[in-house]
């Protein structure tokens, strides 16, 4: 028995399309999931869409259920929420999150899906992968009570980090972005906002998520002596230029990378990938995260949506894809 589904593929860099696929009958330890929502991880997926994954990162940047290879043709994505239609009794009818690409339905091992808590709407649960990245970042460089923290780059990841930092007692958070419209998002998250030139200095921690050389340079400028920049940006094949001949050495500054592909060392002995994702989904019970979703389109429109996001013609934090009626 097979079932037809439709999937988004990048045919060549800069050109996406919807393809028909046939799904197998799920085995005893597998589930058939009907997708309700997926989301575009704008930073990563627009780099993939443009064919900008460096050759030496092709293996490292593979998504869990990716098909094809970089640069193209490739089926890529990892923010998917759906309903289990077939599978073990404990999962049938449950809303689940899966690191699966944009596809109307799919079959995966039951262990690959995580049940969405009842208090988290399915439409918000597409943010689970992004909030999981933020959780891992704050395990990598946890702030102390009373710390002064800046987040540079009010994209999906930067805003998710800011939302979590706003929960820390005594921590004053400033969100920095070149787009003044992001001030409204900062207000919804309960944090301060500033343009880069007006950002507050003498910070204990700066989280950088703008994926720009200018942002990284400004992050270093804002640090207090012996402060740390936590680098969350992925630049793809773009070169990064930063001046280290000034105060970088004399002020003993640090730049530390954080990446969600591994559990942060501070929690690696006690937390699994499943634990981290479950925590992210629990945190999404807070409706404040709805501020990160700034647009929605139908699945059939996804090729055009990604082209517009890549070109900069569509401004969005999280752009959600609806599969209603597909």
CA distances from 314 to 16, 263, 274, 311, 319 (A): 16, 33, 33, 8, 10
Query: Tell me: the pLDDT tens digits for 259-297?
Result: 999 999 999 999 999 999 999 999 999 999 999 999 999
Give the start-end residues of each E strand in the chain. 2-12, 15-24, 30-40, 67-68, 74-75, 80-86, 95-98, 105-109, 113-115, 148-152, 172-176, 192-194, 203-208, 223-231, 254-257, 293-298, 318-322
Judge if 27 and 84 occupy the same domain: yes
19: in domain: yes
276: in domain: no
Q: How many domains does the chain have?
A: 2
Q: In what order do the strands lie in the sheet with 203-208?
A: 192-194, 172-176, 148-152, 203-208, 223-231, 254-257
Going by C-alpha positions, the residue among 209, 227, 211, 208 that lies closest to residue 219 is: 208
Tokens of 231: 């680098």
* Cβ-based neighbours of 212, under 8 Å, separated by 6 or more: 153, 233
For residue 71, whether the previous peptide bond is cis, meaning omega lies within 30 degrees of 0, is: yes
218: in domain: yes
Judge if 151 and 250 occupy the same domain: yes
Judge if 104 and 220 occupy the same domain: no
What is the mean predicted confidence (pLDDT) over 128-139?
97
Give me the chain's average pLDDT, please.
95
Q: Phi first, then psi: give them for residue 287, nearest 5 degrees.
A: -65, -10
Judge if 176 and 118 occupy the same domain: no
Q: Pairing mode, if any, of strands 223-231 and 2-12? A: unpaired
What is the mean predicted confidence (pLDDT) over 119-128?
98
CATH value at residue 139: 3.40.50.720
Query: Tell me: the pLDDT tens digits for 84-122?
Result: 999 999 999 999 999 999 999 999 999 999 999 999 999
CATH value at residue 77: 3.90.180.10
Judge if 15 and 48 occupy the same domain: yes
Using pLDDT thresholds of 50, 70 and 90, give the confidence band for residue 188.
very high
Judge if 154 and 226 occupy the same domain: yes
Percent above pLDDT 90 for the chain: 90
Judge if 226 and 303 occupy the same domain: no
pLDDT of residue 234: 86
For residue 149, pLDDT beyond 60: yes
91: in domain: yes
263: in domain: no
Judge if 120 and 138 occupy the same domain: no
pLDDT of residue 42: 85
* Cβ-based neighbours of 88, under 8 Å, separated by 6 or more: 29, 31, 110
Judge if 85 and 198 occupy the same domain: no
Which structural domain, as residue segments, surrounds residue 50? 2-127+284-322
90: in domain: yes
Judge if 12 and 120 occupy the same domain: yes
For residue 1, pLDDT beyond 60: no
Judge if 114 and 139 occupy the same domain: no
Using pLDDT thresholds of 50, 70 and 90, give the confidence band for residue 2.
low
266: in domain: no
Using pLDDT thresholds of 50, 70 and 90, give the confidence band for residue 43.
confident
Residue 12, exposed/middle/buried by CB under 10 A (0-12, 13-18, 19+)? exposed
pTM of the entire structure?
0.93
274: in domain: no
Judge if 303 and 246 occupy the same domain: no
Is 86:108 a contact under the CB 8 Å cutoff? no
Percent above pLDDT 70 for the chain: 99
Furthest C-alpha separation in the chain: 67
Final residue in a domain of this structure, among 208, 238, 257: 257
């Amino acid at each position: 028995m097979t079932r037809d589904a439709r999937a988004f593929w990048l045919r060549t860099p800069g050109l996406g399309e919807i393809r028909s696929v046939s799904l197998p009958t799920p085995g005893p330890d597998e589930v058939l999931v009907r997708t309700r929502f997926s989301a575009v991880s704008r930073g990563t997926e627009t780099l993939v869409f443009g064919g900008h994954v460096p050759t030496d990162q092709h293996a490292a940047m593979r998504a869990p259920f990716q098909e094809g290879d970089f640069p193209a043709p490739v089926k890529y994505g990892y923010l998917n929420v759906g309903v289990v239609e077939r599978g073990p009794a404990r999962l049938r009818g449950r809303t689940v999150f899966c690191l699966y690409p944009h596809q109307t339905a799919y079959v995966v091992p039951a262990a690959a899906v995580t049940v969405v808590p009842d208090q988290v709407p399915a439409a918000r649960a597409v943010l689970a992968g992004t909030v999981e990245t933020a959780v891992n970042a704050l395990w990598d460089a946890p702030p102390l009570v009373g710390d002064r923290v800046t987040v540079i780059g009010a994209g999906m990841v930067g805003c998710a980090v800011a939302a979590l930092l706003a929960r820390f007692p005594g921590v004053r958070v400033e969100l920095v972005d070149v787009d003044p419209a992001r001030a409204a998002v900062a207000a919804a998250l309960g944090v301060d906002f500033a343009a880069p030139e007006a950002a507050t200095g003498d910070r204990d921690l700066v989280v950088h998520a703008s994926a720009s050389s200018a942002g990284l340079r400004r992050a270093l400028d804002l640090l207090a002596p012996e402060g740390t920049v936590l680098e969350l940006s992925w630049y793809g094949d773009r070169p990064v230029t930063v001046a280290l001949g000034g105060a970088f050495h004399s002020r003993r500054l640090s730049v530390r990378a954080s990446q969600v592909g591994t559990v942060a060392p501070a929690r690696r002995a006690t937390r699994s990938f499943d634990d981290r994702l479950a925590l992210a989904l629990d945190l999404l019970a807070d409706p404040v995260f709805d501020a990160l979703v700034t647009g929605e389109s139908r699945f059939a429109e996804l090729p055009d949506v990604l082209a517009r996001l890549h070109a900069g013609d569509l401004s969005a934090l999280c752009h959600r894809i609806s599969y209603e009626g597909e």
